[in-house]
């Protein structure tokens, strides 16, 4: 007689492809209520089988617990999942402009540039329409925003044609034809704009040999990148979300600022689920980078060097102030190897501000330092670092959609 339990656990692996391999005889035993052995409850089973994944979750949570620091990629201050829950809950209570503005205002410094611009316009509009809604605001502006996007497209095409014709008559002719076709393509929504942008970007890449000039090639690419999408243009944002419920639009204004786990070495290339392979990165940068290698990404976004230093400076400050779990004490140094390897040595940063940790941590006086305790679960505040950072400019990434 077979032992159904050992047979079952032997065959059942976490891989979906193996799930069908349970032998028929075992299945019969399992489905027959008389012979069915007592198996652990599903939740226990899942915990046993997937316990490696739950450890990963723990490590990801550790890095997420760093909380409100600047995105190492774009430099935007990041929000936590807890903030997002608070915001959604608050927005769901009432949808007047007045309530939305009061709720979202404290998170303004966490918004990306486009979202911040939309919010500012909405704030202005809300002064005159306090009982209106965010959804009304977008609907009212959809038509003029659609026109603004089309104007922007014509403007970019004209610049592309001018650069192309300065390269050679062949390049000039090619891009004149392409932009003519795209100008005649009906553009009625943000999806259409994204398609045009994607096509012209791909045309530029495949015309590299005709362009035959690295500077001009980059200029053309930057121009095509600037074609409106909901990520880089207020008008395209309005076009995209007009008609959507206020709550969806309101949460969208802050959602992409939530810190997410970025695998420095992609999992597909064997990158491990360890804190030494994690960066906390805003949702927008994380989603946009896709499969672009870190080396190419740093090259396209040179501001990442400065922002990475800012990220580690802020993390180090939290470690020095004992605001983070002890497992993160060496995190700024631990992730250096992966960053160096993946960026081919172009992404370096200084961690000399990290104070060595002794076993005996100074005990925080309970009366004086209460405020640091659950920093990441609190409402965000403007954190003035103790150590002055070098002044930095707020760069806006040219984000590919």
> Which residue's CB is nearer to Zn ion, number 256 or number 338?
256
> Which residue's CB is nearer to Zn ion, number 71 or number 328?
71
> Which residue's CB is nearer to Zn ion, number 179 or number 308?
308
Give min distance, CB of 75 to Zn ion, in A. Answer: 7
CB-neighbour burial class of residue 45 (10 A; exposed 0-12, middle 13-18, buried 19+): middle
Give min distance, CB of 208 to Zn ion, in A. Answer: 28
Give min distance, CB of 78 to Zn ion, in A. Answer: 8
| Residues between 250 and 289 with contacts to Zn ion, criterion CB under 5 A | 282, 285
Number of residues that bind Zn ion (CB under 5 A): 5
| Residues between 73 and 92 with contacts to Zn ion, criterion CB under 5 A | 73-74
CA distances 361 to 85, 230, 322, 356, 387, Å, are 33, 48, 8, 11, 21
Q: What is the DSSP string of 13-66?
A: -SSGGGGGGS-HHHHHHHH-TTT---PPPHHHHHHHHTHHHHHHHHHHHHHHTT
Give min distance, CB of 397 to Zn ion, in A. Answer: 7
Q: How far is 339 from 350, CA to CA, in rounded Å?
A: 13
Q: Is 307 helix (H, G, I), strand (E, B) or coil?
A: helix
Residues 6+ apart with CB under 8 A from 189: 239, 240
Contact 228, 236 (CB under 8 A): yes
> Which residue's CB is nearer to Zn ion, number 73 or number 279?
73
Q: How far is 370 from 236, CA to CA, in rounded Å?
A: 44
| Residues between 293 and 312 with contacts to Zn ion, criterion CB under 5 A | none
Query: Does the protein bind Zn ion through residue 354 (CB under 5 A)?
Result: no
> Which residue's CB is nearer to Zn ion, number 231 or number 318?
231
Give min distance, CB of 260 to Zn ion, in A. Answer: 9
> Which residue's CB is nearer to Zn ion, number 235 or number 262?
262
Residues making up the chain, counted from first to last? 401
CA distances 129 to 97, 132, 139, Å, are 7, 5, 14
| Residues between 35 and 74 with contacts to Zn ion, criterion CB under 5 A | 71, 73-74
> Which residue's CB is nearer to Zn ion, number 71 or number 224?
71
The residue among 104, 24, 99, 71 whose CA lies nearest residue 288 is 71
Give min distance, CB of 76 to Zn ion, in A. Answer: 5
Strands of 254-340, DSSP E:
259-263, 278-282
Give min distance, CB of 230 to Zn ion, in A. Answer: 16
CA atoms within 13 A on the CB side of 91: 25
336: enclosing H helix or E strand = helix 336-342
> Which residue's CB is nearer to Zn ion, number 182 or number 349?
349
Cα torsion at 129, 131, 136, 137 (round to 10°)? 40
The residue among 250, 249, 276, 244 whose CA lies nearest residue 263 is 276
Give min distance, CB of 222 to Zn ion, in A. Answer: 19
> Which residue's CB is nearer to Zn ion, number 160 or number 335?
335
Give min distance, CB of 60 to Zn ion, in A. Answer: 18
> Which residue's CB is nearer to Zn ion, number 146 or number 282?
282
Give min distance, CB of 71 to Zn ion, in A. Answer: 3
DSSP letter, residue 352? T
DSSP letter, residue 187? -
DSSP letter, residue 9? H
In the structure encoding, which two tokens stand for residue 171, read together? 């390049």
Can you give the binding site for Zn ion, defined by CB under 5 A?
71, 73-74, 282, 285
């Amino acid at each position: 007689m077979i032992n159904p339990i050992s047979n079952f656990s032997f065959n059942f692996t976490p891989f979906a492809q193996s799930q069908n391999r349970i032998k028929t005889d075992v299945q019969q035993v399992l489905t027959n209520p008389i012979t069915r052995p007592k198996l652990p409850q599903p939740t226990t089973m899942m915990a046993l089988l997937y316990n490696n994944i739950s450890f990963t979750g723990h490590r990801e949570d550790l890095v997420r617990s760093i909380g409100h620091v600047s995105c190492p990629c774009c430099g935007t201050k990041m929000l936590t999942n807890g903030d997002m829950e608070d915001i959604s809950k608050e927005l769901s209570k009432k949808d007047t402009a007045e309530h939305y503005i009061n709720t979202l205002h404290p998170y303004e410094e966490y918004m990306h540039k486009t979202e911040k611009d939309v919010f500012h316009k909405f704030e202005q509009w809300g002064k005159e329409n306090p009982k209106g809604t965010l959804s009304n605001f977008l609907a009212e502006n959809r038509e003029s925003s659609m026109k603004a996007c089309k104007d922007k497209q014509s403007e970019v095409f004209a610049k592309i044609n001018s650069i192309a014709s300065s390269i050679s008559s062949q390049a000039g002719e090619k891009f004149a034809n392409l932009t003519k076709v795209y100008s005649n393509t009906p553009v009625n929504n943000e999806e259409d704009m994204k398609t045009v942008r994607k096509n012209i970007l791909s045309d530029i890449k495949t015309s590299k040999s005709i362009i035959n000039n690295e500077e001009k090639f980059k200029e053309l690419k930057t121009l095509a990148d600037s074609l409106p999408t909901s990520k880089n243009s207020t008008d395209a944002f309005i076009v995209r979300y007009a008609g959507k419920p206020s709550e969806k639009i309101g949460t969208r204004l802050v959602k992409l600022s939530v810190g997410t786990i970025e695998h420095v070495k992609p999992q597909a290339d064997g990158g491990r689920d360890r804190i030494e392979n994690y960066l906390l990165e805003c949702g927008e940068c994380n989603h946009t980078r896709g499969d672009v290698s870190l080396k190419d990404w740093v090259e396209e976004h040179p501001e990442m060097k400065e922002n990475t230093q800012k990220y580690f400076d802020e993390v180090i400050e939290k470690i020095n102030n004992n605001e983070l779990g002890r497992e993160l004490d060496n995190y700024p140094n631990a992730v250096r190897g992966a960053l160096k390897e993946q960026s081919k040595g172009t992404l370096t940063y200084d961690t000399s501000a990290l104070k060595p940790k002794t076993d005996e941590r100074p005990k925080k006086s309970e009366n004086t330092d209460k405020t640091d305790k659950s920093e990441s679960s609190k409402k965000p505040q403007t954190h003035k670092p103790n150590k002055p950072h070098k002044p930095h400019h707020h760069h806006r990434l040219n984000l590919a959609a």
